[in-house]
Amino acid sequence: MSSDLTRLLDFADTSREQVVAILDTTEVMAQVLQRPVKRVPALQGFTVATLFFEDSTRTRLSFERAARAQSADVMTFAGGGSSLSKGESLRDTVATLDALQVDAFVVRHPSAGAAHQVASWTGAAVINAGDGRRAHPTQALLDAYVYRQASGRPFEETRLTIVGDVAHSRVARSNAELFSLLGADVVLCGPPTLLPRELAALPGVRLEWDVDAALEGAHAVMALRLQHERMAGTRLHSAAAYADRYQLDERRLAAAHPDAIVLHPGPMNRDVEISGELADGPRSQIRAQVAAGVPVRMAVLYHLLVGKGNR
């Protein structure tokens, strides 16, 4: 049971055992964060660089905290201000940081595959913090972790239903990939203009455009944020029309399993994709998701850096 992982770009090359090991370590890391001294020396001497080409203070800070809580050094590279364009400049940036002996890159980029590109240019560990609409593996891990902690149910007996703008969601794709890898059933649901039929080809995944059919028997229900630009245009008539048909609320959740938990990757549009009442209610694990970000990322950094053959 090694942590042979040297990169986490998505779950295509990970085994179920590796993923479960990360979830187990997350529990330990969560405990560390409960102690008076919220730090362990496990990654002392390692340098972690965050390479964020997309605005996301929350996720970047989460990764940096995860690195510092294990006594690693952190370098922050936010692509917004500098004269960074795509392609070659990305490579130069990686080369520069490589020369500074960075041990792990955490990469977020609007273009799908950017983390793969970075991984091809360096021997350091690479973590994909979100590439275009393709993947966001640490989000999926924290969602799986929260589910596991909140529910006693094994993944093999679990149905996860994801509702919303699936077409543009890397969270949906990564969750579908991960939960399916763990043996769960996954249902992707959304308006026909936001639910690409090609996704039916993903293993373990079923598409459903009727939300009530999609929620039936679900043990975990996830709402995706509806981006403002999409609310009224060529794909949707209006936010109200969307909410009418797809908003997750107490009434709709009656179709799901009585113990079903509710997730949302955030940030939320209250009363658009999810009712305020459901988001704040007893089924909601949204706060737990927020709290799980740092321990999950601590576990991922740990497994990637302190693995077999590293150092």
Kindly state the smallest distance separating residue 93's Cβ from other proteins, in Å.
Answer: 29
Q: Which is nearer to other proteins, 183 or 192 (CB)?
A: 192
Alpha-carbon span 45 to 41, nearest angstrom: 9
In 3D space, the residue among 230, 112, 251, 243 whose CA is nearest the CA of residue 166 turns out to be 230
Measured from the CB of residue 134, what is the shortest distance to other proteins in angstroms? 22
For other proteins, which is the closer residue by CB, 107 or 304? 304
Closer by beta carbon to other proteins, 31 or else 82 = 31
CB of 29 to other proteins, least distance (A): 8
Shortest Å distance, C-beta 311 to other proteins: 6
Tell me the residue ranges of DSSP E strands in 6-124.
7-8, 47-52, 73-78, 104-109
CA–CA separation, 127 vs 79, rounded Å?
A: 17
Instruction: Using alpha carbons, select from 169, 166, 226, 170 the residue that is nearest to residue 187.
Output: 166
Q: What is the dihedral of CA 150, 154, 155, 160, to 10 degrees?
A: -50
Spatial distance between the Cα atoms of 193 and 189, rounded to a whole number of angstroms: 11
Smallest distance from other proteins to CB 64, Å: 18
**Whole-Å CA distances, 239 to 232, 235, 246:** 7, 11, 10
Binding site for other proteins (CB under 8 A): 1-3, 21, 24-25, 27-28, 31-32, 35-37, 39-42, 44, 70, 191-193, 209, 232-238, 241, 244-245, 302, 306-308, 311
Nearer to other proteins by Cβ, of 95 and 241: the residue is 241
Residue (192 or 276) nearer to other proteins, CB: 192
Q: How far is the CB of 190 from other proteins (least distance, A)?
A: 11
- Type of residue found at 296: V
Closest CA to 69 of 289, 307, 302, 292: 302
Q: Which is nearer to other proteins, 136 or 297 (CB)?
A: 297
